[in-house]
Structure 1
Amino acid sequence: MAPLTGRLAPLGKPLTYVLKALTSQLKHVRNGSSRYDVSVAVRDSRSDPGAARQAVRDLVAIDQAHIVLTMAGTQVLPAVADTCEELRVPCLSTTFPWQAYVHARGAAPGHHFQWTYHFAWGLDDIATVFAQMWEQTGGTPTIGCLWNDDLQGDLLRHGQYGFAPVASTRGHHLVDLGPYREPAVDFQTQVGRMREYGADIVTSAATAADLSLFHRQARQAGLRPRLITCSRWLTYPHTHTVTAPDVHAELADARVATLVYWSPTHPYRSSLDGSTCADLAHAYRRDTGESWLQPLGLAHALVETAHHALGTADDPTDHAAVAQALAGTTLPTIAGTLDWKQGPTPNIALLRLAGGQWHPGPKGPDLVIVSNTQIPEVATTGELQPV
């Protein structure tokens, strides 16, 4: 299940690329002494939760899916997972903080889903890596929180499971600049609160276009954040998710810092063919003409894990057996070792995060790793540059 069309389409490319690149490895799966033929069906979520639900039903009823894979989409991914749970078919997903994965489905941490499994990081992990980068700027800054009025913003504000509790525990003073509706048309209220509270660092989960608008209006008001940390859409190069030149110029000037969950310098190998992260990134650029994206490594790990589950299930043609295999999986992948037996809550395997910053480069924004405290085997590739 991939977003081939609609607003999430740029983020669907890594998954469709990986499926094509691994065609030869996916033709068969060996399970004990038996070998099974494998077919891969791809359906378009159209970046819409309703269309995604119907596409899942088609995957199961028409394509006879034994496992469904998906990634990307605050509303689409939970719709896919819930439909798989309803239809009693195993589902594996990624690229979504695990608290959001749980809460968007009407559950709370500790809830056990029978059919659906996920690997990612947590909102608390984002808070930790962002706080580590704030601390590199020196002093005790006031952090202005630019969060929307939707699921992401509500969860980031959550007093128990969200972002603020972790950052506050580290001694940081966070102030909420006020919720806003996406897409935003004006941030004057938030800019005014930034001035009122004396916030000189901003943290957000905004889209590239919205963050650009905020930064422009802050500058016009005589304010300039020393550092902006932003998750979600800013984990991708802004040149990939939006075409407006003014947005590109604004965000290049802002030098946004973000979380890093995969890069060509991560020291991991594929469990399918032994290829490295650098190999995968190079192949993607060679075959597509485009720069690597962080979801590329997760898409590859998604396929690796599904292949492993089919190869280790008591019966790869039985849905319950495949789900049970997922629940017991510990697997070294090109995105790191995924372990569903040691997750923070049932159905979740955790990925560790580094901190990065977008530096302007001759070919567009370049993601430089500036903090590796949580994942020391990943080398830093540059220094944080506050504005």
Structure 2
Amino acid sequence: MSSSSLCVGVVAPLTGRLAPLGSPLSYVLRRLAPRLAHVRNGARRRDVTVVVRDSRSDPDAARRAVRELAGSDGAHIVLTMAGTRVLPAVTAACEELRVPCVSTTFPWQAYVHTRGAGPGHRFRWTYHFAWGLDDIAAVFADLWELAGGRNAVGCLWNDDLQGDLLRHDRYGFAPVTSPRGHTLIDLGAYGEPADDFRAQVGRMREHGADLVTSAATAADLALFHRQAREAGLRPRLITCSRWLTYPHTHTTRAPGVQGELADARVATLVYWSPGHPYRSGLDGTTCAELARAYRRDTGAAWLQPLGLAHALLETAHHALSVAADPTDRACVAQTLAGTRLDTVAGRLDWTRGPAPNIALLPLVGGQWQHGPRGPRLAVVSNSAHPGVPLTGELTPAR
């Protein structure tokens, strides 16, 4: 690579368990390839090479990918998304190797916590855009209230990072939901993957919790729902973040799991949809146009990460276009710290985030509803972002 050319590195889950969730990023890379081939920085036009390395859905492989990008590939900026263990491995490696990095699809408190830092810590090289656990809690409380009343909510949380943070007395759900009159009942921590939820079902019965919230995998949530039904219980509403922000047809191939979750009518958070009122600053694409193009070109329904993947590349293009010296990694990182950019995922502003290195995205509430082409994610609550139109009504299970 010549001294005047630039390199954008991408760490993506091309193989392994996260591969189905990496398809939106792969698609956007193909779609935007002509626009990413060069940038105009001031009066100078610079060639750009995009190098994609496979994380293999594994933290160690992700760290190796970053070392290759930072070393032999000479990346000036690295982009990544997806994976509660993979994403932190990428960002930590970038910080260590002093390579600017932009990431997304991970609550910001978890992003900071997994790095061994507190909310006020300022990283020099790594930047993130997403939402907070508190934002998820607020949206889920909206959904619980739409389902009727302020009953006890059973919390099906694992014994790992995600569950620990959701239980946290400062970052977690309680500080947001308790003042709204909701009583959270911890049903008991479990290991992933789970093989038995009868103890958690028993606590659900004991406390009379007919609402359930979780961050479980599709397979684990389906097992819980089946065992609850077998015990004569049926949650009126299950809210689930993390894996269930994707269609359950993408997160598991097991038809029994898919049928169980379709019956459960799971509600979730929505951070991007075709109805979001945004337009790309790079190519002018609207959310609706991007979703239609994805279906036309892939034959698959849109996924929420699609808009965020597009915004990642918009951010990289912007940083390399406006940095005083885009060949200087430190200069690119400094540019990211002051970035305010309109993207197809919304306005990203790293100057006003809830913590250093964070740009915040708003959330609305959605529910997976049966459609002629499979699961359909309807927006059913938009109090935090009224600009996103409602596309359905919340339907509790009967």
Structure 2 matches for 1:23-102, cutoff 5 A? Answer: 23-102=33-112
Partner letter of residue 334 of structure 2? Answer: Q
Superposition RMSD on alpha carbons, in Å? 0.6
- Which of 273, 277, 287 in structure 2 is aligned with 1:267? 277
- Deviation (angstroms), 1:34: 1.2
For structure 2, list consecutive stretches of 5 or more residues without a partner in the other structure.
1-10
- Deviation (angstroms), 1:211: 0.3
- Deviation (angstroms), 1:137: 1.7
Structure 2 matches for 1:1-387, cutoff 5 A? Answer: 1-387=11-397
**SS of equivalent residue, structure 1 residue 43:** strand
- Deviation (angstroms), 1:361: 1.1
- Which 4+ residue blocks in structure 1 deviate beyond 3 angstroms? none
Alignment partners' CA distance in 2, 1:22 and 1:138: 45
Give the share of equivalent positions with the same residue, in percent: 75
Alignment partners' CA distance in 2, 1:320 and 1:43: 22
Partner letter of residue 71 of structure 1? Answer: M
**SS of equivalent residue, structure 2 residue 134:** helix
Alignment partners' CA distance in 2, 1:137 and 1:84: 43
Partner letter of residue 76 of structure 2? Answer: H
- Deviation (angstroms), 1:288: 1.0
- Deviation (angstroms), 1:84: 0.3
**SS of equivalent residue, structure 1 residue 39:** strand
- Deviation (angstroms), 1:161: 1.0
- Deviation (angstroms), 1:75: 0.5
> With structure 2 as the length reference, what TM-score do the two structures score?
0.97
Alignment partners' CA distance in 1, 2:250 and 2:300: 9
Alignment partners' CA distance in 1, 2:116 and 2:379: 35
Partner letter of residue 256 of structure 1? Answer: V
- Deviation (angstroms), 1:16: 1.1
Alignment partners' CA distance in 2, 1:270 and 1:329: 15
- Deviation (angstroms), 1:275: 0.8
Partner letter of residue 180 of structure 1? Answer: Y
Alpha-carbon displacement from aligned partner over 1:239-267 (angstroms, at most 9, x marks no partner): 11111111111111100000000001111
**SS of equivalent residue, structure 1 residue 22:** helix
Q: Give the corresponding residue for 2:3.
A: none
Partner letter of residue 26 of structure 2? Answer: T
**SS of equivalent residue, structure 2 residue 50:** coil
- Deviation (angstroms), 1:170: 1.3
> With structure 1 as the length reference, what TM-score do the two structures score?
0.99
Q: How many correspondences in the alignment? A: 387
- Deviation (angstroms), 1:171: 1.3
Alignment partners' CA distance in 2, 1:198 and 1:291: 37
**SS of equivalent residue, structure 2 residue 262:** helix
Partner letter of residue 386 of structure 1? Answer: P
Partner letter of residue 342 of structure 1? Answer: R
For structure 1, list consecutive stretches of 5 or more residues without a partner in the other structure.
none
Q: Give the corresponding residue for 2:8.
A: none
Alignment partners' CA distance in 2, 1:58 and 1:181: 33
Alignment partners' CA distance in 2, 1:242 and 1:226: 23
Partner letter of residue 371 of structure 1? Answer: S
**SS of equivalent residue, structure 2 residue 393:** coil
- Deviation (angstroms), 1:287: 1.1
Alignment partners' CA distance in 1, 2:340 and 2:232: 51
Q: Give the corresponding residue for 2:7.
A: none
